Structure 1
Amino acid sequence: MSTTTRLLNLLSLLQTQRDWPGSLLAERLEISDRTVRRDIERLREMGYRIEATMGPDGGYRLAAGAELPPLLFDDAQVIAVAIALQTASVVGADLDEPAARALSTIRQVMPSRLRRRLDALAIVAVAQRPGGPAPTAVPLELLVELARAIRDRVLLRFDYAPRQQPAPDGFGPPRRVEPHHLVNAQGHWYLLAWDIEREDWRLFSVERITPRTPTGPHFPQRDVPGGDVEEFVSARFKGSQTNKWACQGSVILDLPIEAALPFIGDGTAREAGPSRTILESGSWSWGSLAASFGRFEVPMEVIGPPELRDAFATLAHRYRATATT
């Protein structure tokens, strides 16, 4: 093999395992120990910090350097990095612009076969209210398959597993949808699609999807209501037509604001005094909103609206009855 190819293969090996005996590197690359030493020196001159390790055979370790040298990724690593960069906006840091630049840099140098897969992975990342179920891993190839159907605009057929017990006849008839977007919300993957039978937009949990083959015919582009996918999906998570909770209210907590802030979720808080906090929040029902305020376990005063005060009264009656049974 050429010197360049040999160096790239050597670098790839060094990136996959911390310590490599020199003799094993020579065996894997089918070269002499002397050539291994010479190639190690070439990589060091290129900025890679490669340390010599002690042992019977001696060896090498790729260590962190003062600057980030060029890296090698296999196919799965490229797709993993692409997914991570596209979902960087929901981790709570201002990473949108640098993540977009990094993704553009990776795309520019990748082979065409990977670029096509990457271009299919157009992901919408949505910040969801904390406290939901723990994230569930889904197979990478399933995400790629769904992304390919979205890119090609082909009708998708899949079995959709029930949340609890399977139906008597298995999954039931397959769902037929026009797939439009992959959505990641707090580690959970969803497929936003137009459901043919129900004639409406639906969010499908990807972990419950088992695609059927072949795919169906092509379909024309269909815009989500309002034209903004993130706004539309966020509204669906809130159970409303707009990206606002159906029920919104506020209370005064007998709690310093610094103690309340870590637990306010998607609410807003402001000081109401030395040890009091005004908290505004929302939920899909007045009862669930009142219950969410109760998680602070401190005395509080309802600011409004009246529906929230009534919900507290209903919960108090229910809890009192539960405590006496």
Structure 2
Amino acid sequence: MTTDMTGRALRLLALLQTRREWSGADLARRLSVTVRTVRRDVDRLRGLGYVIDSARGHTGGYRLAAGSDVPPLVLDDEEAVAIAVSLHTSAGGLTGIEETALRALAKLQQVMPRRLRGRVAALETSLAGITWDTSGPRADPVLLAALAVACRGHEILTFDYTARDGAGTSRRVEPHHLVASGGLWYLLAHDTNKADWRIFRLDRIADPVQTGRRAAPREIPGGDAAAFVARRISAAPTRYRAVALVRAGADDVRARNRGLGTRVRRLDGNSCRVDASDDDLSRIARTLAGLDVDYALDADPAVLDHLSATAHRMLRAAAAPEPPRP
């Protein structure tokens, strides 16, 4: 039987953090103590500022709840290292996250054991992130956290959503997963009004409201959230159409253009189809230039005009380069 009250309380706290609810009997079994001892240890944690809800009866149990302040967390070695490295690299596409991540990292490193600091330092010096464009849409980290909690708890949400054409709608969804792609964040959810799966860009979501109602977990078509979102993104309507028939294998094209993903379709071993359609003409030009192989193009007139103008501009620059300055 566990006799170290402090160590046992920390172990109890670690268990409460791993899942939404525990029965008293389950906790007692995991800690090798009596149910009465579990109740006393729960009271000790409450005295330290942790908000632990409990329900009596056969189906009762304990749940770590949100309080007015953030009490200390119990992390194992792997969790501490993972959080430190994640804070160091900080998620892209989020407004104001960089400064907040650095403050949190400084606090974590201050209390981190010496044996872990070396591991974190080695990882930090070996990792680097590149932000190509900070002028695009940025998601709110508070919104991201709220949606993540709703996904974990399968809690039904309502929010206002602005579609790509600017039209505003009110949505009621069962949130399932958050997916980052191309500097943007997407919420994958089952829309209760549409009775179908939908993806929502976080920068277009406003005024989310938790309903307090929970839905039974649903199975994603295909079972992979990231793959599902990638398929929906590639199938979404765009303003300009541009499809290239490329004289290279699909695997070779994907290897040289990591961001294309499902937009590449294999035709045979030596050719593939690349859908470069987009709302932005300049992005279409960059996608096609990145192919770096011969291709035939089927595109809207506006796309062809833009590519022709861009090509002529580059040819003029190449034909008359500016002389080097002294």
Same fold by TM-score, threshold 0.5 exceeded? no
Q: Name the TM-score, length of structure 2 as normaliser.
A: 0.42
Greater gyration radius: 1
Q: Name the TM-score, length of structure 1 as normaliser.
A: 0.42
